[in-house]
Structure 1
Amino acid sequence: MRKSIVHTILVLIIIFCQFPLLAEPEAALEPITITVQKGETLSLISERHLSDPKRWPELLKYNKIPNPDLIKPGLSLVVPVFLRKSVVGVTEFVMGQVEWNGTGGRGPWVPLKLGQELHPNDQIKTSGKGKTDIHINQVGMVRILNNSHFEVKGEMKKGGPVTVALFKGSLDAKVTKSNPPTTEHKFNIVSPSSTAGVRGTEFRVELDEKLSSTISCFEGVVDVNAQGKTVELTQGMATFVEKGKSPVQPYKIPEAPRIKEE
Protein backbone atom coordinates (compact mmCIF):
# COMPACT_ATOMS: atom_id res chain seq x y z
CA MET A 1 0.00 0.00 0.00
CA ARG A 2 2.78 2.37 1.01
CA LYS A 3 4.71 1.64 -2.21
CA SER A 4 1.58 2.41 -4.22
CA ILE A 5 1.16 5.83 -2.55
CA VAL A 6 4.83 6.72 -3.08
CA HIS A 7 4.56 5.71 -6.76
CA THR A 8 1.43 7.86 -7.20
CA ILE A 9 3.15 10.88 -5.62
CA LEU A 10 6.19 10.49 -7.89
CA VAL A 11 3.96 10.31 -10.97
CA LEU A 12 2.10 13.49 -9.92
CA ILE A 13 5.39 15.34 -9.32
CA ILE A 14 6.61 14.40 -12.82
CA ILE A 15 3.32 15.53 -14.38
CA PHE A 16 3.29 18.88 -12.58
CA CYS A 17 6.96 19.54 -13.39
CA GLN A 18 6.29 18.97 -17.08
CA PHE A 19 2.99 20.83 -17.25
CA PRO A 20 4.39 24.43 -17.38
CA LEU A 21 6.65 23.42 -20.30
CA LEU A 22 3.70 21.99 -22.20
CA ALA A 23 1.34 24.83 -21.39
CA GLU A 24 3.72 27.76 -21.83
CA PRO A 25 2.27 29.99 -24.59
CA GLU A 26 4.24 31.94 -27.16
CA ALA A 27 5.11 35.52 -26.26
CA ALA A 28 2.05 37.66 -26.82
CA LEU A 29 1.93 41.12 -28.36
CA GLU A 30 1.92 43.81 -25.67
CA PRO A 31 0.91 47.48 -25.58
CA ILE A 32 3.72 49.93 -26.29
CA THR A 33 4.29 53.50 -25.14
CA ILE A 34 5.77 55.96 -27.62
CA THR A 35 6.91 59.55 -27.20
CA VAL A 36 6.07 61.97 -29.99
CA GLN A 37 9.27 63.28 -31.57
CA LYS A 38 9.88 66.62 -33.28
CA GLY A 39 8.53 66.50 -36.83
CA GLU A 40 6.19 63.56 -36.18
CA THR A 41 2.54 63.95 -37.09
CA LEU A 42 -0.50 61.89 -36.14
CA SER A 43 -0.54 60.57 -39.71
CA LEU A 44 3.10 59.43 -39.47
CA ILE A 45 2.57 57.85 -36.05
CA SER A 46 -0.48 55.96 -37.29
CA GLU A 47 1.43 54.73 -40.35
CA ARG A 48 4.30 53.48 -38.20
CA HIS A 49 2.42 51.80 -35.40
CA LEU A 50 -1.18 50.98 -36.33
CA SER A 51 -2.27 47.92 -38.28
CA ASP A 52 -4.74 50.24 -40.05
CA PRO A 53 -3.64 53.91 -40.10
CA LYS A 54 -7.27 54.97 -40.59
CA ARG A 55 -7.99 53.89 -37.02
CA TRP A 56 -6.20 56.95 -35.61
CA PRO A 57 -9.46 58.20 -33.96
CA GLU A 58 -9.40 55.05 -31.79
CA LEU A 59 -5.81 55.82 -30.77
CA LEU A 60 -6.86 59.30 -29.66
CA LYS A 61 -9.90 57.95 -27.82
CA TYR A 62 -7.84 55.29 -26.02
CA ASN A 63 -5.40 57.98 -24.83
CA LYS A 64 -8.26 60.37 -23.94
CA ILE A 65 -7.02 63.03 -26.33
CA PRO A 66 -9.97 65.08 -27.62
CA ASN A 67 -8.17 66.95 -30.39
CA PRO A 68 -5.56 65.80 -32.99
CA ASP A 69 -3.91 69.22 -32.66
CA LEU A 70 -2.75 68.19 -29.18
CA ILE A 71 -0.27 65.70 -30.70
CA LYS A 72 2.97 67.55 -30.00
CA PRO A 73 6.62 66.63 -29.28
CA GLY A 74 7.11 65.15 -25.82
CA LEU A 75 3.59 63.71 -25.57
CA SER A 76 3.39 60.04 -24.55
CA LEU A 77 0.93 57.75 -26.33
CA VAL A 78 -0.01 54.18 -25.49
CA VAL A 79 -0.68 51.98 -28.51
CA PRO A 80 -2.96 49.13 -27.35
CA VAL A 81 -2.63 45.59 -28.68
CA PHE A 82 -5.87 45.76 -30.68
CA LEU A 83 -4.46 48.65 -32.76
CA ARG A 84 -0.87 47.49 -33.13
CA LYS A 85 0.84 46.16 -36.24
CA SER A 86 1.87 42.51 -36.06
CA VAL A 87 5.53 41.90 -35.22
CA VAL A 88 7.41 39.94 -37.90
CA GLY A 89 10.84 40.04 -36.30
CA VAL A 90 13.39 41.91 -34.21
CA THR A 91 16.95 43.20 -34.69
CA GLU A 92 19.64 41.13 -32.93
CA PHE A 93 22.82 42.87 -34.11
CA VAL A 94 23.53 46.34 -35.55
CA MET A 95 26.91 47.64 -36.72
CA GLY A 96 27.80 50.88 -38.49
CA GLN A 97 25.30 53.07 -40.32
CA VAL A 98 21.93 51.32 -40.47
CA GLU A 99 18.61 53.15 -40.82
CA TRP A 100 14.99 52.09 -40.29
CA ASN A 101 11.78 53.39 -41.81
CA GLY A 102 8.44 52.27 -40.38
CA THR A 103 6.28 53.83 -43.09
CA GLY A 104 7.13 51.75 -46.13
CA GLY A 105 9.86 54.15 -47.26
CA ARG A 106 7.78 57.28 -46.75
CA GLY A 107 8.58 59.79 -44.05
CA PRO A 108 11.90 60.17 -42.21
CA TRP A 109 14.58 57.49 -41.77
CA VAL A 110 15.98 57.01 -38.26
CA PRO A 111 18.93 55.00 -36.87
CA LEU A 112 18.04 51.32 -36.40
CA LYS A 113 18.28 50.26 -32.77
CA LEU A 114 19.18 46.90 -31.27
CA GLY A 115 15.95 45.16 -30.27
CA GLN A 116 13.82 47.18 -32.74
CA GLU A 117 10.58 45.37 -33.54
CA LEU A 118 9.94 44.94 -37.24
CA HIS A 119 6.48 45.05 -38.80
CA PRO A 120 5.05 44.49 -42.29
CA ASN A 121 6.36 47.15 -44.74
CA ASP A 122 9.20 48.26 -42.45
CA GLN A 123 12.34 49.05 -44.44
CA ILE A 124 16.04 48.97 -43.59
CA LYS A 125 19.00 50.63 -45.34
CA THR A 126 22.68 49.99 -44.68
CA SER A 127 25.47 52.34 -45.74
CA GLY A 128 29.24 51.96 -45.88
CA LYS A 129 30.26 49.03 -43.71
CA GLY A 130 26.91 48.96 -41.91
CA LYS A 131 25.09 45.66 -41.48
CA THR A 132 22.43 44.15 -39.26
CA ASP A 133 21.11 40.74 -38.23
CA ILE A 134 17.37 40.35 -37.80
CA HIS A 135 15.50 37.40 -36.38
CA ILE A 136 12.30 36.67 -38.30
CA ASN A 137 9.65 34.79 -36.34
CA GLN A 138 9.19 31.14 -37.35
CA VAL A 139 11.87 31.58 -40.05
CA GLY A 140 15.38 32.23 -38.72
CA MET A 141 18.11 34.83 -39.18
CA VAL A 142 18.63 37.29 -42.03
CA ARG A 143 21.83 39.34 -42.27
CA ILE A 144 21.49 42.52 -44.33
CA LEU A 145 24.95 43.36 -45.66
CA ASN A 146 26.55 46.71 -46.54
CA ASN A 147 24.96 49.19 -48.96
CA SER A 148 21.64 47.36 -49.09
CA HIS A 149 17.96 48.30 -49.10
CA PHE A 150 15.53 45.76 -47.63
CA GLU A 151 11.85 45.51 -46.73
CA VAL A 152 9.94 43.17 -44.42
CA LYS A 153 6.62 42.26 -46.05
CA GLY A 154 5.39 39.51 -43.73
CA GLU A 155 2.81 36.89 -44.70
CA MET A 156 1.19 37.76 -48.02
CA LYS A 157 -1.67 35.45 -47.03
CA LYS A 158 -2.52 33.99 -43.63
CA GLY A 159 -0.49 30.87 -42.95
CA GLY A 160 1.68 31.43 -46.04
CA PRO A 161 5.45 31.91 -46.19
CA VAL A 162 7.02 35.07 -44.77
CA THR A 163 8.17 37.34 -47.60
CA VAL A 164 10.90 39.99 -47.65
CA ALA A 165 12.14 42.18 -50.49
CA LEU A 166 15.70 43.09 -51.45
CA PHE A 167 15.78 46.26 -53.57
CA LYS A 168 19.55 46.75 -53.55
CA GLY A 169 22.70 45.10 -52.22
CA SER A 170 22.92 41.65 -50.66
CA LEU A 171 21.81 39.48 -47.77
CA ASP A 172 22.66 36.17 -46.13
CA ALA A 173 20.01 34.01 -44.52
CA LYS A 174 19.94 31.01 -42.24
CA VAL A 175 16.44 29.54 -42.32
CA THR A 176 15.43 26.93 -39.75
CA LYS A 177 14.63 23.57 -41.31
CA SER A 178 11.03 22.37 -41.08
CA ASN A 179 10.37 19.38 -38.84
CA PRO A 180 9.09 17.16 -40.30
CA PRO A 181 10.67 18.10 -43.68
CA THR A 182 8.32 19.64 -46.24
CA THR A 183 8.41 20.76 -49.85
CA GLU A 184 6.46 23.91 -48.95
CA HIS A 185 8.34 27.20 -48.85
CA LYS A 186 8.49 28.93 -45.46
CA PHE A 187 10.38 32.02 -46.65
CA ASN A 188 10.46 34.02 -49.90
CA ILE A 189 12.96 36.68 -50.98
CA VAL A 190 11.70 38.91 -53.78
CA SER A 191 14.10 41.06 -55.82
CA PRO A 192 13.70 43.10 -59.04
CA SER A 193 14.99 40.11 -61.06
CA SER A 194 13.99 36.94 -59.19
CA THR A 195 12.16 35.22 -56.35
CA ALA A 196 13.91 32.72 -54.07
CA GLY A 197 11.68 30.25 -52.23
CA VAL A 198 13.24 28.57 -49.22
CA ARG A 199 12.35 25.46 -47.20
CA GLY A 200 15.22 25.49 -44.71
CA THR A 201 18.73 26.40 -45.71
CA GLU A 202 21.70 28.79 -45.67
CA PHE A 203 22.03 30.97 -48.75
CA ARG A 204 22.95 34.38 -50.17
CA VAL A 205 21.19 36.78 -52.55
CA GLU A 206 23.27 39.48 -54.28
CA LEU A 207 22.13 42.22 -56.64
CA ASP A 208 24.50 43.96 -59.04
CA GLU A 209 24.23 47.53 -60.34
CA LYS A 210 21.78 46.39 -63.05
CA LEU A 211 19.64 44.63 -60.39
CA SER A 212 20.44 41.21 -61.82
CA SER A 213 20.70 38.63 -59.04
CA THR A 214 23.05 35.85 -58.01
CA ILE A 215 21.61 33.30 -55.58
CA SER A 216 24.04 30.92 -53.86
CA CYS A 217 22.99 27.91 -51.75
CA PHE A 218 25.36 27.00 -48.91
CA GLU A 219 23.14 24.29 -47.40
CA GLY A 220 19.70 22.83 -48.04
CA VAL A 221 17.51 23.69 -51.04
CA VAL A 222 16.48 26.99 -52.69
CA ASP A 223 14.01 27.29 -55.58
CA VAL A 224 14.75 30.31 -57.80
CA ASN A 225 12.02 31.60 -60.11
CA ALA A 226 12.02 34.29 -62.82
CA GLN A 227 10.04 34.76 -66.01
CA GLY A 228 8.04 31.58 -65.40
CA LYS A 229 11.07 29.30 -65.03
CA THR A 230 12.21 27.68 -61.77
CA VAL A 231 15.59 26.11 -61.04
CA GLU A 232 16.47 24.17 -57.88
CA LEU A 233 19.69 24.94 -56.03
CA THR A 234 21.25 22.41 -53.70
CA GLN A 235 24.30 22.75 -51.45
CA GLY A 236 27.28 24.30 -53.22
CA MET A 237 25.28 25.49 -56.23
CA ALA A 238 24.31 28.95 -57.54
CA THR A 239 22.40 30.59 -60.37
CA PHE A 240 22.48 33.98 -62.07
CA VAL A 241 19.33 35.83 -63.12
CA GLU A 242 19.67 38.76 -65.50
CA LYS A 243 16.84 41.21 -64.94
CA GLY A 244 14.03 40.39 -67.36
CA LYS A 245 15.40 36.90 -68.13
CA SER A 246 15.12 33.35 -66.77
CA PRO A 247 17.62 31.82 -64.30
CA VAL A 248 20.68 30.21 -65.89
CA GLN A 249 21.46 26.52 -65.33
CA PRO A 250 22.78 26.03 -61.76
CA TYR A 251 26.56 25.91 -61.46
CA LYS A 252 29.00 24.99 -58.71
CA ILE A 253 30.44 27.68 -56.47
CA PRO A 254 34.11 27.42 -55.34
CA GLU A 255 33.25 27.19 -51.66
CA ALA A 256 30.09 26.93 -49.60
CA PRO A 257 30.77 29.00 -46.45
CA ARG A 258 28.76 28.64 -43.24
CA ILE A 259 26.92 31.68 -41.90
CA LYS A 260 28.13 32.45 -38.37
CA GLU A 261 26.30 34.44 -35.71
CA GLU A 262 27.80 37.85 -34.94
Structure 2
Amino acid sequence: MRKSILHSTLVLIITFCSFSLFAESGETLEPITITVQKGETLSLISERHLSDPKRWPELLKHNKIPNPNLIKPGLSLVVPVFLRKAVVGVTEFVMGQVEWNGTGGKGPWVPLKLGQELHPNDQIKTAGKGKTDVHINNVGMVRILHDSHFEVKGEEKKGGPVTVALFKGSLDAKVNKSNPPTTEHKFNIVSPSSTAGVRGTEFRVELDDKLSSTISCFEGVVDVAAQGKTVELKQGMATFVEKGKSPVQPYKIPEAPRLKEE
Protein backbone atom coordinates (compact mmCIF):
# COMPACT_ATOMS: atom_id res chain seq x y z
CA MET A 1 0.00 0.00 0.00
CA ARG A 2 2.82 2.39 0.94
CA LYS A 3 4.60 1.64 -2.35
CA SER A 4 1.40 2.40 -4.27
CA ILE A 5 0.93 5.73 -2.48
CA LEU A 6 4.59 6.63 -2.97
CA HIS A 7 4.37 5.77 -6.68
CA SER A 8 1.23 7.91 -7.12
CA THR A 9 2.87 10.82 -5.30
CA LEU A 10 5.95 10.63 -7.50
CA VAL A 11 3.79 10.56 -10.64
CA LEU A 12 1.94 13.69 -9.47
CA ILE A 13 5.19 15.50 -8.68
CA ILE A 14 6.71 14.60 -12.06
CA THR A 15 3.53 15.63 -13.88
CA PHE A 16 3.40 18.97 -12.06
CA CYS A 17 7.06 19.70 -12.70
CA SER A 18 6.72 18.82 -16.37
CA PHE A 19 3.70 21.12 -16.70
CA SER A 20 5.52 23.97 -14.96
CA LEU A 21 8.55 23.55 -17.19
CA PHE A 22 6.35 23.54 -20.32
CA ALA A 23 4.33 26.52 -19.15
CA GLU A 24 7.24 28.75 -18.30
CA SER A 25 9.46 27.74 -21.24
CA GLY A 26 7.04 29.16 -23.80
CA GLU A 27 9.36 32.12 -24.41
CA THR A 28 12.11 29.85 -25.83
CA LEU A 29 11.49 29.73 -29.56
CA GLU A 30 12.42 26.88 -31.86
CA PRO A 31 12.15 26.58 -35.65
CA ILE A 32 8.74 25.36 -36.82
CA THR A 33 7.69 23.54 -39.98
CA ILE A 34 4.38 24.51 -41.57
CA THR A 35 2.49 22.96 -44.47
CA VAL A 36 0.85 25.36 -46.90
CA GLN A 37 -2.92 24.85 -46.86
CA LYS A 38 -5.43 25.42 -49.63
CA GLY A 39 -6.24 29.13 -49.88
CA GLU A 40 -3.08 30.25 -48.04
CA THR A 41 -0.87 32.82 -49.73
CA LEU A 42 2.68 33.91 -49.00
CA SER A 43 1.24 37.16 -47.63
CA LEU A 44 -1.06 35.30 -45.22
CA ILE A 45 1.71 32.93 -44.10
CA SER A 46 4.01 35.90 -43.43
CA GLU A 47 1.30 37.67 -41.38
CA ARG A 48 0.69 34.57 -39.29
CA HIS A 49 4.24 33.44 -38.61
CA LEU A 50 6.80 36.21 -39.17
CA SER A 51 7.65 38.92 -36.66
CA ASP A 52 7.82 41.28 -39.65
CA PRO A 53 5.70 40.17 -42.64
CA LYS A 54 7.92 42.24 -44.95
CA ARG A 55 10.74 39.74 -44.35
CA TRP A 56 9.09 37.11 -46.58
CA PRO A 57 12.08 37.17 -49.00
CA GLU A 58 14.23 35.83 -46.15
CA LEU A 59 11.71 33.03 -45.58
CA LEU A 60 11.96 32.03 -49.23
CA LYS A 61 15.76 32.22 -49.16
CA HIS A 62 15.96 30.09 -46.01
CA ASN A 63 13.83 27.43 -47.71
CA LYS A 64 15.75 27.74 -51.00
CA ILE A 65 12.63 28.72 -52.93
CA PRO A 66 13.57 31.00 -55.86
CA ASN A 67 10.06 32.09 -56.82
CA PRO A 68 7.06 33.16 -54.66
CA ASN A 69 4.78 31.49 -57.22
CA LEU A 70 6.06 28.12 -56.00
CA ILE A 71 4.16 28.55 -52.71
CA LYS A 72 1.39 26.00 -53.24
CA PRO A 73 -0.77 23.72 -51.05
CA GLY A 74 1.19 20.78 -49.65
CA LEU A 75 4.55 22.59 -49.64
CA SER A 76 6.49 22.42 -46.34
CA LEU A 77 8.21 25.56 -45.08
CA VAL A 78 10.62 25.89 -42.19
CA VAL A 79 10.25 29.15 -40.25
CA PRO A 80 13.60 29.82 -38.50
CA VAL A 81 13.80 31.35 -35.04
CA PHE A 82 15.16 34.67 -36.30
CA LEU A 83 12.00 35.23 -38.36
CA ARG A 84 9.39 33.93 -35.93
CA LYS A 85 6.87 35.92 -33.94
CA ALA A 86 7.30 35.93 -30.16
CA VAL A 87 5.15 33.36 -28.36
CA VAL A 88 2.99 34.97 -25.66
CA GLY A 89 1.06 31.89 -24.59
CA VAL A 90 -0.51 28.57 -25.53
CA THR A 91 -4.00 27.06 -25.39
CA GLU A 92 -4.46 24.44 -22.66
CA PHE A 93 -8.16 23.62 -23.02
CA VAL A 94 -10.65 24.04 -25.88
CA MET A 95 -14.35 23.18 -25.78
CA GLY A 96 -17.08 23.82 -28.33
CA GLN A 97 -16.94 26.39 -31.11
CA VAL A 98 -13.72 28.39 -30.75
CA GLU A 99 -11.87 30.08 -33.62
CA TRP A 100 -8.38 31.58 -33.98
CA ASN A 101 -7.07 34.30 -36.23
CA GLY A 102 -3.31 34.77 -36.52
CA THR A 103 -3.44 37.91 -38.65
CA GLY A 104 -4.92 40.46 -36.25
CA GLY A 105 -8.43 39.77 -37.50
CA LYS A 106 -7.61 40.51 -41.14
CA GLY A 107 -7.34 37.00 -42.55
CA PRO A 108 -9.54 33.90 -42.32
CA TRP A 109 -10.66 32.39 -39.02
CA VAL A 110 -9.85 28.72 -38.36
CA PRO A 111 -10.78 26.30 -35.54
CA LEU A 112 -8.59 26.81 -32.48
CA LYS A 113 -6.50 23.77 -31.62
CA LEU A 114 -5.30 22.50 -28.27
CA GLY A 115 -1.66 23.53 -27.87
CA GLN A 116 -1.95 26.42 -30.35
CA GLU A 117 0.84 28.95 -29.81
CA LEU A 118 -0.41 32.51 -29.43
CA HIS A 119 1.52 35.53 -30.69
CA PRO A 120 1.04 39.31 -30.41
CA ASN A 121 -2.19 40.39 -32.17
CA ASP A 122 -3.60 36.86 -32.39
CA GLN A 123 -7.36 36.84 -31.82
CA ILE A 124 -9.82 34.28 -30.46
CA LYS A 125 -13.62 34.10 -30.82
CA THR A 126 -15.97 31.79 -28.95
CA ALA A 127 -19.55 31.04 -29.95
CA GLY A 128 -22.42 29.20 -28.28
CA LYS A 129 -21.06 27.31 -25.28
CA GLY A 130 -17.49 27.43 -26.59
CA LYS A 131 -14.67 28.41 -24.25
CA THR A 132 -10.91 28.05 -23.98
CA ASP A 133 -8.15 28.30 -21.38
CA VAL A 134 -5.02 30.16 -22.40
CA HIS A 135 -1.75 30.03 -20.48
CA ILE A 136 0.00 33.41 -20.72
CA ASN A 137 3.77 33.11 -20.19
CA ASN A 138 4.91 34.32 -16.76
CA VAL A 139 1.40 35.62 -16.00
CA GLY A 140 -1.07 32.78 -15.44
CA MET A 141 -4.26 31.44 -16.94
CA VAL A 142 -7.07 33.25 -18.78
CA ARG A 143 -10.38 31.55 -19.47
CA ILE A 144 -12.23 33.07 -22.43
CA LEU A 145 -15.92 32.38 -21.91
CA HIS A 146 -18.81 31.93 -24.36
CA ASP A 147 -19.68 34.48 -27.06
CA SER A 148 -16.46 36.43 -26.57
CA HIS A 149 -13.87 38.15 -28.76
CA PHE A 150 -10.34 38.39 -27.36
CA GLU A 151 -6.91 39.53 -28.54
CA VAL A 152 -3.41 38.88 -27.21
CA LYS A 153 -1.36 42.07 -27.49
CA GLY A 154 1.78 41.03 -25.60
CA GLU A 155 4.40 43.25 -23.95
CA GLU A 156 4.76 46.88 -25.00
CA LYS A 157 8.35 46.71 -23.77
CA LYS A 158 10.60 43.86 -22.70
CA GLY A 159 9.82 42.86 -19.12
CA GLY A 160 6.73 45.05 -18.96
CA PRO A 161 3.17 43.91 -18.24
CA VAL A 162 1.43 41.66 -20.75
CA THR A 163 -1.69 43.24 -22.26
CA VAL A 164 -4.75 41.54 -23.70
CA ALA A 165 -7.94 43.04 -25.09
CA LEU A 166 -11.55 41.97 -24.60
CA PHE A 167 -13.77 43.33 -27.37
CA LYS A 168 -16.90 41.36 -26.45
CA GLY A 169 -18.12 38.87 -23.86
CA SER A 170 -16.31 37.89 -20.67
CA LEU A 171 -13.21 36.28 -19.24
CA ASP A 172 -11.94 34.88 -15.97
CA ALA A 173 -8.29 35.01 -15.02
CA LYS A 174 -5.99 33.51 -12.42
CA VAL A 175 -2.77 35.50 -12.34
CA ASN A 176 0.32 34.22 -10.55
CA LYS A 177 1.07 36.05 -7.32
CA SER A 178 4.22 38.15 -7.24
CA ASN A 179 6.83 37.07 -4.74
CA PRO A 180 7.67 39.37 -3.09
CA PRO A 181 4.40 41.34 -3.52
CA THR A 182 4.63 44.35 -5.83
CA THR A 183 2.56 47.43 -6.57
CA GLU A 184 3.39 47.18 -10.28
CA HIS A 185 0.94 45.67 -12.74
CA LYS A 186 2.01 42.42 -14.41
CA PHE A 187 -1.11 42.04 -16.55
CA ASN A 188 -3.49 44.52 -18.20
CA ILE A 189 -6.93 43.86 -19.69
CA VAL A 190 -8.16 46.55 -22.07
CA SER A 191 -11.84 46.77 -23.05
CA PRO A 192 -13.91 49.42 -24.89
CA SER A 193 -14.92 50.96 -21.54
CA SER A 194 -12.06 50.36 -19.09
CA THR A 195 -8.54 49.11 -18.36
CA ALA A 196 -7.87 46.66 -15.53
CA GLY A 197 -4.34 46.47 -14.15
CA VAL A 198 -3.64 43.32 -12.17
CA ARG A 199 -1.22 42.53 -9.33
CA GLY A 200 -1.58 38.79 -8.77
CA THR A 201 -5.23 37.86 -8.43
CA GLU A 202 -8.33 36.01 -9.54
CA PHE A 203 -10.89 38.21 -11.25
CA ARG A 204 -13.56 38.47 -13.93
CA VAL A 205 -14.24 41.03 -16.68
CA GLU A 206 -17.70 41.09 -18.27
CA LEU A 207 -18.96 43.30 -21.10
CA ASP A 208 -22.66 43.92 -21.69
CA ASP A 209 -24.39 44.65 -24.99
CA LYS A 210 -23.46 48.34 -24.69
CA LEU A 211 -19.80 47.42 -24.02
CA SER A 212 -19.97 48.72 -20.46
CA SER A 213 -17.83 46.58 -18.14
CA THR A 214 -18.18 44.93 -14.77
CA ILE A 215 -14.91 43.93 -13.11
CA SER A 216 -15.05 41.62 -10.08
CA CYS A 217 -12.05 40.80 -7.87
CA PHE A 218 -12.12 37.38 -6.23
CA GLU A 219 -8.60 37.52 -4.76
CA GLY A 220 -5.71 40.00 -4.76
CA VAL A 221 -5.92 43.53 -6.17
CA VAL A 222 -7.18 45.01 -9.45
CA ASP A 223 -6.86 48.69 -10.44
CA VAL A 224 -9.67 49.73 -12.79
CA ALA A 225 -9.20 52.91 -14.83
CA ALA A 226 -11.45 54.87 -17.18
CA GLN A 227 -11.84 58.53 -18.12
CA GLY A 228 -8.90 59.61 -15.94
CA LYS A 229 -10.18 57.94 -12.75
CA THR A 230 -8.83 54.79 -11.09
CA VAL A 231 -10.48 52.69 -8.38
CA GLU A 232 -8.83 49.86 -6.45
CA LEU A 233 -10.65 46.56 -6.12
CA LYS A 234 -9.73 44.19 -3.33
CA GLN A 235 -11.03 40.70 -2.62
CA GLY A 236 -14.82 40.49 -2.73
CA MET A 237 -15.28 43.85 -4.46
CA ALA A 238 -16.46 44.90 -7.92
CA THR A 239 -17.02 48.03 -9.99
CA PHE A 240 -19.13 48.95 -13.00
CA VAL A 241 -17.88 51.17 -15.83
CA GLU A 242 -20.40 52.57 -18.26
CA LYS A 243 -18.76 53.18 -21.62
CA GLY A 244 -17.55 56.78 -21.75
CA LYS A 245 -17.78 57.26 -17.97
CA SER A 246 -15.63 56.74 -14.87
CA PRO A 247 -15.74 53.60 -12.69
CA VAL A 248 -18.36 53.64 -9.94
CA GLN A 249 -17.36 53.33 -6.29
CA PRO A 250 -16.40 49.69 -5.54
CA TYR A 251 -19.15 47.57 -4.02
CA LYS A 252 -19.29 44.17 -2.34
CA ILE A 253 -20.12 41.09 -4.36
CA PRO A 254 -21.50 37.72 -3.16
CA GLU A 255 -19.08 35.00 -2.09
CA ALA A 256 -16.47 34.81 -4.82
CA PRO A 257 -16.43 31.73 -7.07
CA ARG A 258 -13.12 29.95 -7.44
CA LEU A 259 -11.57 29.47 -10.87
CA LYS A 260 -10.97 25.73 -11.33
CA GLU A 261 -8.90 23.90 -13.90
CA GLU A 262 -10.95 22.19 -16.63
Relative to the length of structure 1, the TM-score reads 0.90
Q: Name the SS for the 1:154 alignment partner.
A: strand
Structure 1 residues 231, 46: closer, same or farther in 2, change over 3 A? same
- Give deviations 1:67-104, integer Å, cap 9, x for gaps: 00000000000000000000000000000000000000
- Give deviations 1:31-68, integer Å, cap 9, x for gaps: 00000001100000000000000000000000000000
**Consecutive unaligned residues in structure 2, runs of 5 or more:** none
CA distance in structure 2 between the aligned counterparts of 1:235 and 1:158, rounded to whole angstroms: 30
Q: How many residues align?
A: 262
CA distance in structure 2 between the aligned counterparts of 1:6 and 1:171, rounded to whole angstroms: 38
Offset, 1:23: 18
Contact residue 161 and residue 185 of structure 2 kept, 8 A: yes
Contact residue 36 and residue 71 of structure 2 kept, 8 A: yes
Structure 1 residues 25, 168: closer, same or farther in 2, change over 3 A? closer
CA distance in structure 1 between the aligned counterparts of 2:84 and 2:170, rounded to whole angstroms: 30
CA distance in structure 1 between the aligned counterparts of 2:6 and 2:142, rounded to whole angstroms: 51
Structure 1 residues 221, 26: closer, same or farther in 2, change over 3 A? same
CA distance in structure 2 between the aligned counterparts of 1:255 and 1:6, rounded to whole angstroms: 37
Relative to the length of structure 2, the TM-score reads 0.90
Offset, 1:3: 34
CA distance in structure 2 between the aligned counterparts of 1:77 and 1:100, rounded to whole angstroms: 21
CA distance in structure 2 between the aligned counterparts of 1:243 and 1:251, rounded to whole angstroms: 18
1:14 — aligned with what?
A: 14
Give the alignment's Cα RMSD to 1 decimal.
6.5
CA distance in structure 1 between the aligned counterparts of 2:238 and 2:228, rounded to whole angstroms: 18
Q: Name the SS for the 2:13 alignment partner.
A: helix
CA distance in structure 1 between the aligned counterparts of 2:6 and 2:209, rounded to whole angstroms: 73
CA distance in structure 1 between the aligned counterparts of 2:241 and 2:51, rounded to whole angstroms: 35
Structure number, greater radius of gyration: 1
**Between 13-22 and 156-165, the greater mean CA deviation after superposition:** 13-22
**Between 21-30 and 217-226, the greater mean CA deviation after superposition:** 21-30
Query: Structure 1 vs Structure 2: percent identity of aligned residues?
Result: 90
Offset, 1:28: 2.2
**Between 45-54 and 9-18, the greater mean CA deviation after superposition:** 9-18
Structure 1 residues 5, 101: closer, same or farther in 2, change over 3 A? closer
Contact residue 188 and residue 196 of structure 2 kept, 8 A: yes
Structure 1 residues 225, 70: closer, same or farther in 2, change over 3 A? same
Q: Name the SS for the 1:243 alignment partner.
A: coil
Offset, 1:21: 11
Contact residue 27 and residue 88 of structure 2 kept, 8 A: no
Offset, 1:109: 0.2
Structure 1 residues 237, 56: closer, same or farther in 2, change over 3 A? same
Contact residue 23 and residue 137 of structure 2 kept, 8 A: no
**Between 250-259 and 187-196, the greater mean CA deviation after superposition:** 250-259
2:74 — aligned with what?
A: 74
Structure 1 residues 231, 71: closer, same or farther in 2, change over 3 A? same
**Between 63-72 and 18-27, the greater mean CA deviation after superposition:** 18-27
Offset, 1:26: 7.8
Structure 1 residues 113, 205: closer, same or farther in 2, change over 3 A? same
Runs ≥4 residues deviating over 3 A: 1-27
CA distance in structure 2 between the aligned counterparts of 1:133 and 1:9, rounded to whole angstroms: 26
CA distance in structure 2 between the aligned counterparts of 1:15 and 1:94, rounded to whole angstroms: 20
Q: Name the SS for the 1:59 alignment partner.
A: helix
Offset, 1:157: 1.7
Q: Name the SS for the 1:211 alignment partner.
A: coil
Q: Name the SS for the 1:114 alignment partner.
A: coil
Contact residue 27 and residue 86 of structure 2 kept, 8 A: no
